[in-house]
Amino acid sequence: MFSGAQNFVVSNGQFIDQNIDAEATGIDILLEASNPDAAYNSSYVEDIADWAVPAMDVDVPLPLFWMKGPAGVGKSAIAQTCVERLQDLGKLGAAFFFSVNGCDKAVQFFPTIAYQLSTEIPDYRSLVNQRIRHDKTIVDKTMAVQFNSLIVEPFQELRRNEKDIGKRIPIFIDGLDECESVDAQCEIIEIIAAAARDGRTTFCWAFFSRPESHIEATFAIADIAQVTCTVQLPVSRDADSEIELYLRSGFENVLRRCNVRMQSQWPSSEDLQTLIQNAGGLFVYAATALRVVAQPGFLPEESLRAILTTSPDRGNISTIDSAPKSPFVELDTFYMVIMRRIPSEILPAVLLLCAILCFSGRYLDINSLGVLTQSNFLGLSELQFKMVCSQLSAVLLFRHQPESLVYTTTDTSRPFYQENPAVTQGLRALVFFEPGGSVSFHHKSFYDFLFCVASPITHNTLFKHCLELQHKYQESYSLQGSGEMQV
């Protein structure tokens, strides 16, 4: 505070230094560029992946691990549990869940990994902090530059300085197929595999995703395949016992929330076994069933009966007797049950919302603009929009934006750049990105369902709605004078 000062005396003074570190630290900037919501979030219990922490007497496993499998088979459950166990053992490096809360931004991936590592390794934290303070644009550069500048080079420097950083640091990535673009998904694999193949890092990377063709093709590249252990997680009835425990616990929670005590078991053992049979090894079926039963506005017993009395034969999804039954037939039929329960007077708005969410990634850019923008697009009030969402609560996640953020946590006497990064990040989301909150699917399988069953009528309805909006906008403009346009 008094650098270079000499020969002076201060009596009864009170000093408040507002300039020390007034500028955001490198770690603060890194936090703001990352996505904390995509970090580890426990929910399931499964066995730990053996390759992450190998025994001392075995050969070191390959640095990349890819578990692939169709939607709903429990990949995220396994990933979550591995993260939990490694965290308990003090062996976890970092984790990123693209499938959590709509976290799909590739530009946030490596900053999030780097930030998590910085909270676990003090020496690394100091290095990366200095790097970002020297060049704040690192977090905005390409993924390759982010990876080298934030992860590879700092750890190489730590090794040169003989710092103890561990020989194998596990990092888990779930839902890679839900990253924002095909190119970004492939690039992440290629960047990480190149560093692992060249021995530039001591990390081991676990990927969990659906076997999309471009991901399959990338992992099949010779230079990548040679450093990757690939495991197929098929749809299997071996998960029935875990699904039964999950359902029993879920139904108990439903009764508890309703403050109801039953003298006999509910649901009955027969009904429970029917649900397990219908689930066909898919955890997503069990999770959606519980959300349907707990949906407000319906009696839990009636909701359960609607699920149990519907079979693929009664649905609109055709099957071929000679072909093997798809494990997703029951799930798709289940989704048909959810759609049929929607009251007729609100069904058109629900279908239009589904069309917007389903096709936003292909034709529109409205899904990331928040609830208020989407409700305006639909021509609904905020209350009407939330009522529409409530009809889809079993498959649709509505996240409220914390409106009190500005008033309760922001110090308006401080400049914006000196504000706590967690607050500035929230303010940006509140003001720019998600006004009124946001909506997303609980599970990608419902997106697949909508996309598969969407008919030309759905396309046409959305197209006509867009045309009507365009006509309304055009009518709001008037030309006055020479070349001047006024609204």
The residues spanned by each domain of the chain are 26-234, 238-340, 347-400+436-472
The CATH class for the domain spanning 26-234 reads alpha beta
Biggest CA–CA distance in the chain, Å, is: 97
Looking at the whole model, is its pTM more than 0.75? Answer: no
64-68 β-sheet, strand order: 94-97, 169-174, 203-209, 64-68, 228-232
Determine the Cα–Cα distance for residues 82 and 92; give it in Å rounded to an integer.
9
The one-letter amino acid at 112: T
The residues near 444 (Cβ < 8 Å, ≥ 6 apart) are: 71, 99, 177, 178, 210
pLDDT in tens, the chain (487 residues): 455 555 555 555 544 444 434 456 777 777 666 655 454 433 363 445 567 877 666 677 889 999 988 877 778 878 888 888 888 888 888 999 886 655 778 888 999 999 999 988 889 999 999 999 888 888 889 999 999 999 999 999 998 888 877 778 999 999 899 888 899 999 999 999 999 998 888 899 999 999 999 999 999 999 999 999 898 887 777 778 888 888 998 899 888 888 878 878 899 999 999 999 888 888 888 888 898 888 877 888 888 988 888 755 444 433 333 344 555 677 777 788 888 888 888 888 888 888 777 765 444 444 445 677 778 877 888 788 888 888 888 888 777 665 444 444 455 555 544 545 555 554 444 444 455 677 777 777 787 777 766 666 767 777 888 888 778 777 776 666 555 555 4
The C-alpha atoms of residue 92 and residue 40 are separated, in whole angstroms, by: 10
